[in-house]
Amino acid sequence: MILVTGATGNAGGEVARVLVNSGQKVRALVRSTHQGTLLEGVEGVTGDLNRPETLAAALSGVQGVFLLSGYQDMPGLLARMRRAGVERVVLLSGSSAPTGDMSNAITRYMVRSEIAVRESGVPWTILQPNSFMSNALRWAPQIRAGDPVRAPFPNVRVAAIDPFDLAQVAAQALISAEHEGKSYRLSGPESLLPEEQVAILGRVLGRALQFKGLSDEEARAEMNASMPAEYVTAFFSFFAEGKLDESRVLPTVEEITGKRPRPLLEWALMHADAFR
């Protein structure tokens, strides 16, 4: 049995799908309101990862856990998993964790999560992916409304990864001891500017989408309206100040899975209805 956290999200949902399709038993930790959104074949169990004492049922009989970063008591959470007999944890971290910049709010919670996993006594694998292709879904309301697609950091290239490819790597790490004690940086197969990403979406939709790159001032104002200030500062550190490079195309996905990661065009074709 493998427990997947975040199974109703983009990454965890794909991990659950890949595991089910490969014949694994999968349990998802969910809030009760999300029970109906789970993939067929996935067992839903309620619990709160910020309250490890609520996880007895979720962890019963579990051999592997796909774990997101950033919970309040990661050491306590992992200690609970160790006592329950969990044999392997695959942690979803992020591309900035290797920088070790503890002044950055996003990097800080990822680094702390990685430290907790490494010190947990449970065999582990850490995944550090670039930004997800599914982040393009934030443009869906603009595209459906027919407005120009507005995006921050228009001059920053990113080799975004399809969550499906992240899931393929995670599944390998969850079912095989071959990847224990390893950290993997992951990317997609192409490095694209935001305008190039929007153009690909336009091809799929059969529309000539207009693109408008936001100035840093415009971007900061919009981001401040939708996320905590410390995260806005973190993203500006990454992309406006250039402290994070997600432009490199890395071979890791193909090395682990034997398959080239999916390009954005393929992801967009599979998710086109979300933009219509």
Query: Do residues 257 and 169 make contact, with C-beta atoms less than 8 angstroms apart?
Result: yes
Confidence of residue 70 (pLDDT cuts 50, 70, 90): very high
Structure tokens at 177: 């001891």
Is residue 68 over pLDDT 90? Answer: yes
Going by C-alpha positions, the residue among 275, 147, 125 that lies closest to residue 264 is 275
Structure tokens at 270: 């599979």
* Coil, helix or strand at residue 82: helix
Q: What is the CATH number of domain 2-131+161-187+250-261?
A: 3.40.50.720
CB atoms under 10 Å from CB of 130, counted, come to 24
Rounded Cα–Cα distance for residues 137 and 162 (Å): 12
Give pLDDT tens digits for 85-103.
999 999 999 999 999 999 9
pLDDT of residue 216: 96
Residue whose tokens read 């401040």: 224
Residue whose tokens read 């694994």: 24
What b-and-e string marks burial along 202-221, b requiring 16 or more CB atoms within 10 Å of the CB?
bebeeeebebebbeeeebbe
Is residue 37 over pLDDT 90? Answer: no
Sign of CA pseudo-dihedral 16, 18, 20, 26: negative
* CA 149 to centroid of chain Cα atoms: 23
Going by C-alpha positions, the residue among 135, 131, 104 that lies closest to residue 237 is 104
Percentage with pLDDT > 70 across the chain: 98
pLDDT of residue 230: 97
Q: By mean pLDDT, which of 34-38, 222-226, 259-263 is the weakest? A: 34-38
Query: What residues does 64 pair with on adjacent strands?
Result: 2, 88
Mean pLDDT of 66-89: 95
Is residue 33 over pLDDT 70? Answer: no
Query: Do residues 111 and 97 make contact, with C-beta atoms less than 8 angstroms apart?
Result: yes
Percentage with pLDDT > 90 across the chain: 88
Is residue 34 over pLDDT 70? Answer: no
pLDDT of residue 170: 98
| Mean residue pLDDT across the chain | 94
Higher pLDDT, 35 or 12: 12
- Taking phi over 0 as left and psi of -120 to 50 as alpha, with beta for the rest, 219 belongs to alpha
| CA-to-CA separations, 74 to 5, 22, 91, 147, in angstroms, rounded | 13, 29, 11, 42
Give pLDDT tens digits for 134-184.
999 999 999 999 879 999 999 999 999 999 999 999 999 999 999 999 999
User: Which helix H or strand E contains 90, and what residues bound it?
Assistant: strand 88-92
Rounded Cα–Cα distance for residues 273 and 276 (Å): 5
pLDDT of residue 31: 74
Residue whose tokens read 């994070």: 244
Confidence of residue 35 (pLDDT cuts 50, 70, 90): low
Give pLDDT tens digits for 210-248.
999 999 999 999 999 999 999 999 999 999 999 999 999
Mean pLDDT of 22-47: 83
